Amino acid sequence: MAEQAAASGPLPIVPFLKIPSEGSPYLEGQRCRACGAVFLGERATCSKCGGRGTLEPAPLSGRGTLYVYSIVHRSFPGVEVPYVSCVVDLEGGGTVKGNLIGIDADPAKIAMGMPVETVFKVAPRKDAEGNEYLTYYFQPRS
């Protein structure tokens, strides 16, 4: 199990973002052996088919297509706007929500269905103890 980063490295922003000690970070799904449903984060039972103990970790692809988006102009204090909130269908299964970066926040520029990929960066926020977090974004890919 090479899961956690060194004590000094950033922590994962969500439990399904995995930071191996060697190699690149990735998102991990839980795939149901019985019905094929893909979940984010560990769980005991499949809520699609009710299967128990049928879920196993499966790395998710870093490539996908933009399903839908919204351009967020009003958010909570401290959240920089505007930004693009998006839902991405990953190749091979799994749907993930995130920010779409590397593109103008303009409906004329964003095409639903366009190819995107995940990128990992240190988040611009720290927790109360000063810990850094690694987060994921989506960006257009050619």
Partner 1 sequence: MSDVYILGVEMIKFGRFPEKTVPQLGAQAALMALDDAGLTIGDMEALYCGNLYQASAMVGQRILHEIGQTGIPVVNCANACATGATAFREAWMAIKAGAYDLTLAVGVEQMGKGLIGGGGARGKGIPTEGLLGSGTMPTVFAEAGMEHARKYGTTFEQFAKVSVKNHHHSTMNPKAMYQIETPLEMVMNAEMISYPNTKLMCSVNVDGSAAAVLCSEKKARELGMKRAVRVKASALTSDPFTDRDLVMPDVNTCTRRAAAKAYEMAGVSAKDVDLVELHDCFATAEILHYENLGLCGEGEAGRAIDEGWTAIGGKIPVNVSGGLLSKGHPLGATGIANIYEVSTHLRGEAGKRQVPGARIGLTHVIGLGSACAIHVLEKVA
Binding site for Zn ion (CB under 5 A): 32, 34-35, 37, 46, 48-49, 51
Site for partner 1 contains 130 (CB under 8 A):
no
| Shortest spacing between CB 62 and Zn ion, in angstroms | 24
Choice between 22 and 56, CB closer to partner 1: 56
| DSSP conformational letter for 49 | T
Is the previous residue joined to 82 through a cis bond, with omega within 30 degrees of 0?
yes
| Shortest spacing between CB 56 and Zn ion, in angstroms | 11
Total residue count of the chain as it appears in this document: 142
Task: Give the list of residues 6+ apart from residue 117 with CB closer than 8 angstroms, or none.
Answer: 62, 63, 64, 138, 139, 141
What is d(CA 131, CA 126) in angstroms, rounded to the nearest whole number?
Answer: 5
If contact means CB under 5 to 8 A according to the sort of partner, which of partner 1, Zn ion, none does residue 26 touch? none
Site for partner 1 contains 14 (CB under 8 A):
yes
If phi > 0 it is left, if psi is from -120 to 50 it is alpha, else beta; for residue 50 that is left
User: Would you state the structure tokens that stand for residue 16, as one six-digit string?
Assistant: 């399904």
If contact means CB under 5 to 8 A according to the sort of partner, which of partner 1, Zn ion, none does residue 32 touch? Zn ion
Site for partner 1 contains 43 (CB under 8 A):
no
> Site residues (CB under 8 A) for partner 1?
11, 13-14, 37, 39-40, 47-48, 67-76, 79-81, 83, 85-87, 89, 95-99, 107, 112-113, 123, 125-127, 129, 131, 133, 135-136
